[in-house]
Structure 1
Amino acid sequence: MRIADILRNKGSAVHTVRTDTRVCELIGDFARFNIGAVVVFENETVVGIVTERDVVRALHESGPSILAASARDLMSPSVTTCLPTDSVDSLAETMTEQRIRHLPVVVDADLVGIVSIGDVVKSRIDELQTERDQLASYIHGGG
């Protein structure tokens, strides 16, 4: 299975923010859109990503004053991305090795989607269910 298959099932919508978006707005976006990460843009280019974990860590380290900071202050500037043609297995390996939960999907510098570890797990469960159903059909069908 490919990343394109995941995007076909879940859609390609990605919530993005500008570098000057305040952290308090990000928190609202996480809750309102039920998401765990936002992709940060500057001049129509992906420049970072901010996750719920980034916000929690910043709150712990800096206290409530961090709410007035900008996405630029919290974002991880080195963003690992993937392609729609990448395999789900290779993405799972990358996410595990790099301890990443969200990967933007980029084609020719254009953001075309985002994949979470939850999407990868769901994809794998769906594959296993399909294999199970095929085996059960084969066994019950007599071969």
Structure 2
Amino acid sequence: MQISQLLRRKGHDVATVPGTVSVRDALAVLARHGIGALVVSPDGRQVEGIVSERDVARGLHERGAGLLAEPVSAVMTAQVHTCTPHAGVQDLARTMTDHRVRHVPVVEDGALVGIVSIGDVVKARLDELEAEREQLVDYIQSP
């Protein structure tokens, strides 16, 4: 399965914030959308970084509550692992595991077109495995 197929089912919406937004405001966006990460982007198309709940938690531990007033660019991950819509789900799962990332922005022709979480990847892989199992059962049970 390709990431483009996964995005067709999931949708292409991506929550973004500019790097100048405070960490407190970014947390409010995360809570409002019920998500674990935001793409940091000045225009909703360009990827400058990604900020996750984990980044904020580590920043709070290191710097204290004053971090909440700082810009999100202070805690974001600037070296973002991205993929294209043509990438395979299995390959992305490997990348996410190897690099210990839970959210990967999907970029095509330099523009943000979606985001995939580890949960999306696991669900897609489980769906693929179930389809394969059903095909095998049908094959074995056919006369």
TM-score tier after normalising by the smaller chain length: over 0.9
Residue 46 (structure 2) pairs with residue 11 (structure 1) = no
Identity %: 51
Which amino acid in the other structure matches residue 4 of structure 2? A
Within-5 A mapping of 1:67-78: 67-78=68-79
Residue of structure 2 in register with 1:85 after alignment: 86
Which amino acid in the other structure matches residue 70 of structure 1? P
Within-5 A mapping of 1:100-115: 100-115=101-116
The runs of at least 4 consecutive aligned structure 1 residues that moved more than 6 Å come to none
Which amino acid in the other structure matches residue 140 of structure 2? I
| 5+ long unaligned stretches in structure 2 | none
The alignment's TM-score, normalised by the length of structure 1, stands at 0.94
Within-5 A mapping of 1:1-143: 1-42=1-42, 45-140=46-141, 142-143=142-143
For 1:97 and 1:34, locate their aligned partners in 2 and report how far apart those are by CA, in whole Å: 26
Structure with the larger strand share: 1
Q: CA deviation at 1:136?
A: 2.3
The number of aligned residues is: 142
Which amino acid in the other structure matches residue 138 of structure 2? S
User: What secondary structure sits across from 1:135 in the alignment?
Assistant: helix
Which amino acid in the other structure matches residue 90 of structure 1? D
For 1:40 and 1:125, locate their aligned partners in 2 and report how far apart those are by CA, in whole Å: 30
